[in-house]
Amino acid sequence: MSVPLPRLTLVELRKLADTRAGLWLLILIGLGVVATAAILLGWAPDEELTFADFFAFGLVPSAVLLPVLGILSMTGEWSQRTALTTFALVPSRLRVITAKLAAGVLIALATTAVTLLFSAAANLLGMALGGDGAWRVDGTLIWQGALTEVLFLLMGMAFGALLLNSPLAIVAFFALPTIWGILRETIKALQGVSGWLDLGITSGPLSEPSMTSGEYARLAVSCLVWVALPLLLGSWRILRREVA
């Protein structure tokens, strides 16, 4: 009898915090959200102490750290030498990959929800300190913020699946977009296509209340290059790799 996918997903969620590195990443994400609120409360002008500003700034730490957690999730079986146990209990590797992706999406959505709660608390504190305290926020910004978290986490998971080596995948995740950005600035021929292939650029409009169809199209193309393609290749590699 195969293990149900929801149970596998719960197992993968638990495994995200089972390792010391995963646990500390989750703690650092929480501390980062608190730190962003403290920065705004301490140094931002009163008119910027709003729920929308707290929320937008609060998403930054998780957007940086969640991909690393995704990488560790995908490389865990191979770096910790538990692949034999995992795939003996669940022979269908595709189900394991699917459960990891589902767990990643859930943790990204949970992080967004926690950021909303912290932002609300920070806004109340800001009102007490004389800040603007406005609660108005476009609903589009909330789901687009969640989408940003999900996309970058999936990108990290894609790099982890493709390389199956935690340090290498982490370095590649941060280095390759930087190298691409340098090439874009130095080679004029790349400046036109960068608007379609640079996820850092195409995801920028997600922080605005309205995106055009063209901006969504450019985001989709860059996601195909940086998320879908490495994830497909990585999944194929996991399915075919021999377990020592």
Q: How is residue 53 written in tokens?
A: 């500003």
**For residue 137, which amino acid is it?**
V
Is 80 exceeded by the pLDDT of residue 33? yes
Residue of higher predicted confidence among 157 and 20: 157
Q: DSSP label at 205?
A: G
Q: What is the pLDDT of residue 190?
A: 78
Q: What is the pLDDT of residue 244?
A: 65
Q: Give the pLDDT band (50/70/90) at residue 127.
A: very high
pTM here is 0.94
Q: What is the pLDDT of residues 58-106, one digit of tens each?
A: 999 999 999 999 999 999 888 877 787 888 888 889 999 999 999 999 9
d(CA 237, CA 165): 13
| Mean confidence (pLDDT) of the chain | 91
**128-146 exposure pattern, b = at least 16 Cβ within 10 A, e = fewer:** eeebbbeeebeeebbebbb
Q: Give the pLDDT band (50/70/90) at residue 183.
A: confident
Number of neighbouring beta carbons within 10 Å of residue 101: 22
Mean pLDDT of 178-187: 84
Q: Using CA of residue 153, residue 34, residue 203, residue 140, what is the dihedral sign?
A: positive
How are the residues of the chain apportioned to helix, strand and coil, as percentages rounded to the nearest 5? 85, 0, 15
Lowest-pLDDT choice from 183-187, 189-193, 231-235: 189-193
Our CA angle for 223, 227, 230, nearest 5°, is 135
Give me the half-sphere count of Cα atoms (radius 13 Å) on the Cβ side of residue 96: 23
**For residue 163, which amino acid is it?**
L
Q: What is the pLDDT of residue 193?
A: 81
d(CA 102, CA 8): 9
Is 60 exceeded by the pLDDT of residue 1? no
Q: What is the pLDDT of residue 57?
A: 95
Mean pLDDT of 187-216: 85
